[in-house]
Structure 1
């Protein structure tokens, strides 16, 4: 009985291969579990995103370095300006100091001139007062004291020369006083101009100093941004290495699953009559069907159940419903915990139980397919509902 069943199965496999029901090795890329395909695609997408982030970060890093270099050049120019302003300020301070010395000297000269003026003024005043008060007496004295007329003329000339001298000195003093006053005024104006210019230079120095401080702060900020960008770039590079390792592992796993899928297609299969189902298999299978195809019609639910039973029948996979469903990383609801919730709450519908019953009787609408997943580009197989079976 068992031998005959195996003969029938071999004949069915041969017919299926000739009819194209089971994918050949030329389509090996379709032999992969949904979970592994999904993880590999996600890993490749994450790596691509990380590479894009790295490229963007490297571009930002280049821009930051250019900005830092520009700021450093600006800072160099500002420092030169600050030095020039400081030198100008120092020169101005020296000029102002010299001008103050000149003003002080002029003031001293003016003070001396004033003292001379007062002395000369008092002297002239006394002489003038004497002349006017004793004019008649002097004239008589000059007249009578003169030895002769010539002497009289000489004495008159002397008095006239004395008066002329006094007027001349007074005029010279007045001119000197005016010159000193004018010089003092000019010096005061020059000092005022220097003070105003110095104030402007002080403002310019303060402005340039502020720009130097601000630019230095900006450079420090850019350096911090550069350090952060460099750290981000290193982190992205490290992440890419890790993702490449993960992709390599997933690709190796995918290759192994392809090998197992091909092996399953070529290996011995049991007849459904040789399978002894354990208590609880129906409940477990119905709830897995609910998790994988609960929102689809009966046809899609039967197809999921048939894949599980096909694996039970294949010598490549575990020989029990429990073993197949809980085999590592095969059915996503197991890993996500959705199956455990469905089992705890008894989520399976009557349609799911009907699909489980029919699959456990050996009924299949996907031939000997042992995998299914959501459709992706390049994947061929039997399309039922939202899945491709292969």
Structure 2
């Protein structure tokens, strides 16, 4: 008895190593397997459609953003064109201001020259008046006596007196001219001050005009550049989203085709030829393989769910639509997600299947099925009808 048990143990270990090697070969050589195909095709399809809707919504929002940014950019471009027109006008104004500045500087130079001449004239008039007043103050009495005693007649005296009056009138006129010159100087000085103030005002206005328009042009140009960069980024994002949507559409078509094929095979299996369980020859390691698949697919499910998963595998073995061995069914391309993910290989390597999983495998391998002829199972999704056990629907 011990020798037989030892032989059986060795056989199980050899089978586990063989199964592990077979898994590794299939993972590297066979066509890539999509995880969760059998039990999640509809969920994948639903998720793919939702992802596509989300991408389309994001693309729509991105295109709206691009339209708004293009509109804002166009508005800014219009502002820039207007500013450039203003800048041209400002340039023309600056030329006029520069001419006014040049004219004003010339006027100031002329005013300075006139002021200098007036000041010189004032000095000359002042010196002349000063000498005349000094002369008259010192000689006036002697002149009057000399004129009175020196006159040959009263008529001569009157003539000399008339000369004195003319001389006084001349002095008065000279004094008035001096006053006028003084007033002219004051007026020129006031004019000069005004012209200098106006010149400074022109220069300030010129600088302000230059700074204002140049600043607006720089700011608007920077805004346009930023919008152009944002639009470029948004357009790149939109292109990426469009490419993503095309890829999602291709995935959806593949998933739809895959689901249609699963439903076709399910219907075909139900109407095809079925073998009797007595016609099936199980390999030494089939029990451990099936028990560990049940562990991976329904380890947390109630016992009835474990039996149902095992029944699906055996139903495929019995159907002429699928491979006629447990190994062939479980490792058929793109069928059971634990095969693709490597979970089954790890479970087999450590024989993680529980006693309940082995018991469920035994019942299924005896031909018992609590899901009839169902050959697929998955988590429930809207629109999919079948036999619901635990967290799976069987169809």
C-alpha separation in 1, matches of 2:304 and 2:209: 86
Question: Which residue is 2:330 aligned to?
Answer: 325
Task: Name structure 2 gaps, 5 residues minimum.
Answer: 1-36
Q: Does 1:56 align with 2:61?
A: yes
Return the offset for 1:62: 0.8
C-alpha separation in 1, matches of 2:267 and 2:335: 16
Map 1:124-163; keep pairs closer than 5 Å: 124-163=129-168
8 Å contact 1:92–1:194 — kept in the other structure?
no
Return the offset for 1:98: 1.9
| Equivalent of 1:109 in 98, 105, 114 | 114
Question: Which residue is 1:275 aligned to?
Answer: 280
Deviating more after overlay: 191-200 vs 264-273:
191-200
C-alpha separation in 2, matches of 1:172 and 1:358: 141
Question: Which residue is 2:228 aligned to?
Answer: 223
Question: Which residue is 2:172 aligned to?
Answer: 167
Question: Which residue is 1:34 aligned to?
Answer: 39
C-alpha separation in 1, matches of 2:335 and 2:146: 153
Question: Which residue is 1:358 aligned to?
Answer: 363
SS class of match (2:388): strand
Question: Which residue is 1:27 aligned to?
Answer: none
Return the offset for 1:379: 1.0
SS class of match (2:224): helix
Question: Which residue is 1:299 aligned to?
Answer: 304
Q: TM-score, normalised by structure 2?
A: 0.85
8 Å contact 1:78–1:208 — kept in the other structure?
yes
8 Å contact 1:307–1:371 — kept in the other structure?
yes
Q: Does 1:369 align with 2:374?
A: yes
| Equivalent of 1:260 in 244, 260, 265 | 265
| Equivalent of 2:387 in 365, 377, 382 | 382
C-alpha separation in 1, matches of 2:264 and 2:58: 35
The aligned length equals 359
C-alpha separation in 1, matches of 2:56 and 2:137: 116
8 Å contact 1:36–1:254 — kept in the other structure?
yes
Question: Which residue is 1:179 aligned to?
Answer: 184
Map 1:8-27; keep pairs closer than 5 Å: none
Question: Which residue is 2:240 aligned to?
Answer: 235
Q: For residues 134-155 of structure 1, what are the alpha-carbon distances to aligned partners after superposition, in whole Å with 9 as ceiling and x for unaligned?
A: 2233223323433322112111
**4+ runs of 1 displaced by more than 3 Å?**
80-90
Task: Name structure 1 gaps, 5 residues minimum.
Answer: 1-31
Map 1:43-122; keep pairs closer than 5 Å: 43-122=48-127
Q: TM-score, normalised by structure 1?
A: 0.86
Q: Does 1:213 align with 2:218?
A: yes
Deviating more after overlay: 223-232 vs 185-194:
185-194
C-alpha separation in 2, matches of 1:385 and 1:68: 59
Return the offset for 1:238: 2.1
Q: Does 1:344 align with 2:349?
A: yes
